[in-house]
Chain A
Amino acid sequence: MSDIPLFKVTIDNISIEVPAGTTVLNAARMIGGEVAPPAMCYYSKLEGSGGKCRTCLVEVSKGSEKDPRPMPKLVASCRTTVMDGMEVKNITSAKVVDARASIVEFLLLNHPLDCPICDQAGECHLQDLSYEHGKEGTRYEFQRRTFKKHDLGKYIQLHMTRCILCYRCVFTADQLTKKRAHGILDRGDHSEIATFIEKNLDSDFIGNVIDVCPVGALTDKTFRFKNRVWFLKPMDAHRDCPTCSGKVTLWNRGDEVFRVTARKDQWGEVEDWICNDCRFEKKKTSDWVIEGPRLIDRHSVIAQGHYAGTVGMHKPTETFSAVHHGRQPKLLMDIHSVSEVNQADIDLSIIAGPAHSNNFNSNKD
């Protein structure tokens, strides 16, 4: 390591020394906080990713110590390596903020605004980005692109209309699985994620494409429409898995495991890849050793359930009988005897795919 020279780079007036060859984006992430540009396609754990979405554009106001001329155009920070003495403006540059807002609008051109249906809503990077830049509406008046529906098997649901062509899932399949079965077909406006010959995605680590997808294009079919992420209780859990690290986040409602995902760090990137078995097959609390509630950024809608701390681990203690000398409260109505929601005999979490009308109506008569 010692033979790699350290370069001093200044991002938004904050200086940091980073090894040569570091990208501007990674240097900004080392500083952390708001200085780090958002990234929709770059993924630090995937080799070759980045350079496609243009959301990480920054202004280089001074090229380097030796050649202090500014770069003529905004550059993609995930693909630009630092130079010694480089000065970068991210949120301090009005040009960058303006360009980023326009890029969000371009990304949303063909993106259907169907967040109410989409399972990614609440943890979607594109949703966050558009709200951050005030571009949650649309000015686009024309027909959005549509695609023939492809079935990717029983685990992964593809919504091609939502795809922003970040290529992350392609890199994931290349780098994590033995054989990539899907890819981007056609080009330009017609390019789409597909398997060409209808083929199931079933390699062992292919489930990770769900986690790397920044939008709701690839979602978990075993979780499809089951619940909204902000009603679930995220908890760190692990199990002895022969193929992967087994460190996951469980998304519970009560004791039902609705979804299993990898743990994500502050940049929304997976910490440890997990295998399909952990992700799709282990939907019982007894399969897992629960470590505790996962810390969720308090600005996230997922934090609205207030499960942080020890609250999520224990049921609240009933104080009534304690203060009334053992007398039990008189129950005026048991909500479960009336309510049709969350019935004991319909366990949504263990239905293989999304629930349908027959799941709900079969026991009615």
Chain B
Amino acid sequence: MEALTTRAKEVSRKPMSFAESLYIPNILKGMFITFGHMFKKQPTIRYPEQKREFSPVFRGLHVLNRDEQGRERCTACGLCAVACPAEAITMEAAERLEGEENLYREEKYAARYEINMLRCIFCGLCEEACPKDAIYLSETFAPANYSRKGFIYSKEDLVIPNPLTDPEGYAKAKGAPRAINN
């Protein structure tokens, strides 16, 4: 039979000599390696306090965007839902009534908009499909939860805070402007 790899090492079954059976030199050798690591640069970070910078193409939790006047941009056109390979997005549309012009940008809007985060694979195709710049994948993770029910994100969880009434929350949800690194 042909060998599967050329790097295989033959296992040695020789009985140990007396010096080897003492183990002490090898233990010391191992301890020294461990000790040496205390002076090396740490590859890990202390996560909740420190956070790594996201990659510019990071795709996190979805937000439903608003325009400068605080109106929801989504028109429930269904393109995100049809683009979604996991079929995570569902919505129901409604017509804007008179007096709701400050709430919704167009005459049609999403009365219900749900993303099933159990199904979502964070591929970002919804963001690409959106003709109204309404859905974005932000730089946050979907938080962990004890029950499955907590992963059905409705509009209350997704719509970004109003930039007029809550500029701080808006800026936070929007995330820091990305430095385009070269």
Using an 8 Å CB-CB cutoff, how does the interface string of A227-239 with B read, 1 for contact, 0 for none? Answer: 1101100000000
B67 within 8 A of A: no
Could you say which residues of chain A place their CB within 8 Å of the CB of B131? 115-116
Could you say which residues of chain B place their CB within 8 Å of the CB of A338? 149, 152
B121 within 8 A of A: no
B29 within 8 A of A: no
Could you say which residues of chain B place their CB within 8 Å of the CB of A332? 148
Cα distance A335–B90 when bound, in Å? 12
Query: Are A231 and B82 interface neighbours, CB within 8 A?
Result: yes
Query: Are A357 and B91 interface neighbours, CB within 8 A?
Result: no
Using an 8 Å CB-CB cutoff, how does the interface string of A294-305 with B read, 1 for contact, 0 for none? Answer: 000000010010
Query: Are B132 and A116 interface neighbours, CB within 8 A?
Result: yes
Given known A-B contacts A117-B107, A340-B112, A342-B90, A231 and B95 have beta carbons under 8 A apart: no
Could you say which residues of chain A place their CB within 8 Å of the CB of B78? 227-228, 230-231
Query: Are A355 and B95 interface neighbours, CB within 8 A?
Result: yes
A266 within 8 A of B: no
Query: Are B92 and A360 interface neighbours, CB within 8 A?
Result: yes
Using an 8 Å CB-CB cutoff, how does the interface string of B64-96 with A read, 1 for contact, 0 for none? Answer: 000000000001111101100000001111110
Query: Are A335 and B82 interface neighbours, CB within 8 A?
Result: no
B111 within 8 A of A: yes
- For B103, the closest partner residue in chain A by CB is A357
Interface of A is mostly: loop
Given known A-B contacts A115-B131, A230-B82, A341-B114, A360 and B94 have beta carbons under 8 A apart: yes
Interface of B is mostly: mixed
Given known A-B contacts A355-B92, A356-B97, A333 and B148 have beta carbons under 8 A apart: yes
Could you say which residues of chain A place their CB within 8 Å of the CB of B132? 116
* A138 CB to nearest chain B CB (Å): 13
Cα distance A224–B107 when bound, in Å? 11
B108 within 8 A of A: yes
Query: Are B82 and A225 interface neighbours, CB within 8 A?
Result: no
B106 within 8 A of A: yes
Could you say which residues of chain A place their CB within 8 Å of the CB of B111? 355, 357, 359-360
Could you say which residues of chain A place their CB within 8 Å of the CB of B82? 228, 230-231, 301, 304
Cα distance A225–B95 when bound, in Å? 7
Q: Which A residues between 310 and 351 are near B, CB-CB below 8 angstroms?
A: 332-333, 335, 337-342, 348
A153 within 8 A of B: no
Cα distance A337–B147 when bound, in Å? 13
Cα distance A225–B77 when bound, in Å? 9
Q: Which A residues between 25 and 59 are near B, CB-CB below 8 angstroms?
A: none
A95 within 8 A of B: no
* B153 CB to nearest chain A CB (Å): 10
Could you say which residues of chain A place their CB within 8 Å of the CB of B100? 357
Given known A-B contacts A115-B131, A357-B100, A121 and B93 have beta carbons under 8 A apart: no
Could you say which residues of chain A place their CB within 8 Å of the CB of B92? 341-342, 348, 355, 360
* A148 CB to nearest chain B CB (Å): 16
* A161 CB to nearest chain B CB (Å): 12
Q: Taking each of A228, A341, A355, which has the highest tally of chain B beta carbons within 10 Å of its own beta carbon?
A: A341
Could you say which residues of chain B place their CB within 8 Å of the CB of A226? 93
* A358 CB to nearest chain B CB (Å): 8
Cα distance A360–B100 when bound, in Å? 14
Task: For B94, give its contact among A121, A228, A356 (CB under 8 Å).
Answer: A356
Could you say which residues of chain A place their CB within 8 Å of the CB of B97? 356-358
Query: Are A341 and B112 interface neighbours, CB within 8 A?
Result: yes
Q: A117-B107, A355-B92, A359-B94 are in contact. List 9 more A-B contacts (CB 8 A).
A: A115-B77, A121-B77, A225-B76, A225-B95, A231-B82, A338-B152, A355-B93, A356-B97, A360-B111
| A-B pairs with beta carbons under 8 Å apart, 27 shown | A114-B106, A115-B77, A116-B77, A116-B79, A117-B75, A117-B77, A225-B93, A225-B95, A225-B108, A227-B78, A231-B78, A231-B82, A333-B149, A335-B152, A337-B149, A338-B149, A338-B152, A339-B116, A341-B92, A354-B95, A356-B94, A356-B95, A357-B100, A357-B111, A360-B94, A360-B111, A360-B112
Residues of B within 8 A of A (CB): 75-79, 81-82, 90-95, 97, 100, 106-108, 111-112, 114, 116, 131-132, 147-149, 152, 154
What 5 A-B pairs come out closest when comparing CB atoms? A116-B77, A354-B95, A228-B78, A333-B148, A341-B90
